[in-house]
Amino acid sequence: MTIPFLKMHGLGNDFVVIDARSRTLSLTEAQVRAIADRRTGVGFDQFIVIQPPRTQGATAFMQILNPDGSESGACGNATRCVAHLLMEQSGIAEAVIETISGLLPATAEANGLITVDMGPARLDWRDIPLAGPADTLRLDVSEGPWSGPVAVSMGNPHIVFFVDDVDAVPLERVGPVLEHHPAFPQRANIEFVQVLSRTEIRMRVWERGAGITRACGSGSCAVQVAAVRRGLTDRRAEVVLDGGSLTIEWQENGHVLMTGPVALSFSGVLQPDLLGQTSVGAALVTA
Ligand SMILES: N[C@H](CCC[C@H](N)C(=O)O)C(=O)O
């Protein structure tokens, strides 16, 4: 069995994208982890499987897996990539991407950027989810000098710490500790943010199941919602990530709009039978 794939990214948040709309795809969790290996596989921050839509009105269903094999309910950067692919293939200017968290309408902008309605920000402690009742505007959670984060669900859990200097945070050390904090029963994506002005936020992210990535679309939505809730930014702001910027708007109706670029890196063909082998032989044959 061989499996064609695309390698895409949004601001350096990178994806292996497989179109499984007209084929059956059965990969084990171990095989997904093998494909995630950046030396012996392909490498990705998220593994994206495009499937037939499950709900009327959806263009396609998108499954999202992390490099550790766990599943996520949201991935903003991949939503833009998949929407772009579907729009290009069908010559349409709008697509509706379905995830386990809901339907996400996407549109192509004249300048080539993609805008996605990432759905409503969910702010109840049960929606994050948290281990017990708590004020999501200021959690009783701390790690070293960092405390009192905001919790936001964008279909996946985000914990947002406001800091004075985002570059001074040892993310590789505190990220995994906070991801696995007992307050977060489904673990969490961890964002450290510095508000630069009422329309600009700098953010670094530790992603659940993935580690440090250059960008996180759902995380950008979450930090903008958190900043508005704290009264720190206007409803529309630029979120500046290591890999570039996204424009995020938390609308009055509760939905969050995300606008940003997409990019195709290369295409290839996976040979799952070879993945994980240590003997000489390519696990991957590029087309
Ligand atoms: N990079 C993605 C988020 C992946 C989230 C995943 N790490 C999780 O377990 O929720 C984004 O652009 O929104």
pLDDT, tens only, 162-198: 999 999 999 999 999 999 999 999 999 999 999 999 9
Six token digits for residue 197: 């002005």
Alpha-carbon separation of residue 284 from 8, 14, 38, 44 (angstroms): 16, 17, 12, 14
Average pLDDT, the chain: 95
- The C-alpha angle 276, 282, 283, rounded to 5 degrees, equals 40
Residue 186: predicted pLDDT: 98
Measuring from atom 11 of ligand 1, which residue has the nearest CA?
75
Q: Is the CB–ligand 1 distance for residue 150 below 6 Å? A: no
Helices marked H in the chain — which ranges? 29-36, 76-90, 171-179, 217-229
Residue position matching structure tokens 């064609």: 4
In the chain, the domains with their CATH numbers are 3-113+263-285 (3.10.310.10), 119-260 (3.10.310.10)
Q: Is 209 in the pocket of ligand 1 (CB under 6 A)?
A: yes
Instruction: Take residue 30 and report the two structure tokens written for it.
Output: 């171990």
| 270 contacts 5 by C-beta, under 8 angstroms | yes
What does the pLDDT look like over 2-39, one tens digit per residue? 999 999 999 999 999 999 999 988 899 999 999 999 99
**What is the spatial distance between Cα 168 and Cα 45, in angstroms, rounded to a whole number?**
24
Confirm or deny that 253 is annotated as ligand binding.
no
Give the pLDDT band of residue 1 (cuts 50, 70, 90).
confident
- pLDDT above 70 as % of the chain: 95
Residue 125 pLDDT: 98
Residue 244 zone, left/alpha/beta (φ > 0; ψ -120 to 50; rest): left
Band of pLDDT at residue 279, cut at 50, 70 and 90 = very low
Asked if residue 142 belongs to a known ligand binding site, the reply is no
For ligand 1, is residue 243 a contact (CB within 6 Å)?
Answer: no
Contact 186, 129 (CB under 8 A): yes
The answer on whether 13 is annotated among ligand-binding residues is yes
What positions carry a catalytic annotation? 75, 216
Task: Give the pLDDT score at 286.
Answer: 36
In short, whether 99's Cβ falls inside 6 Å of ligand 1 is no
Instruction: Kindly report, residue by residue over 76-107, the tens digit of the pLDDT.
Output: 999 999 999 999 999 999 999 999 999 999 99
- Model pTM greater than 0.90? yes
pLDDT in tens, 233-265: 999 999 999 999 999 999 999 999 999 999 999
pLDDT of residue 111: 95
Give the list of residues 6+ apart from residue 120 with CB closer than 8 angstroms, or none.
Answer: 253, 254, 255, 256
Q: 118 CA to middle of ligand 1, Å?
A: 13
Task: Let me know: does 49 contact 59? Beta carbons within 8 Å.
Answer: no
Q: How far is it, in rounded angstroms, from Cα 101 to Cα 17? A: 19
Q: Residues with Cβ < 8 Å from 279, sequence gap 6 or more?
A: none
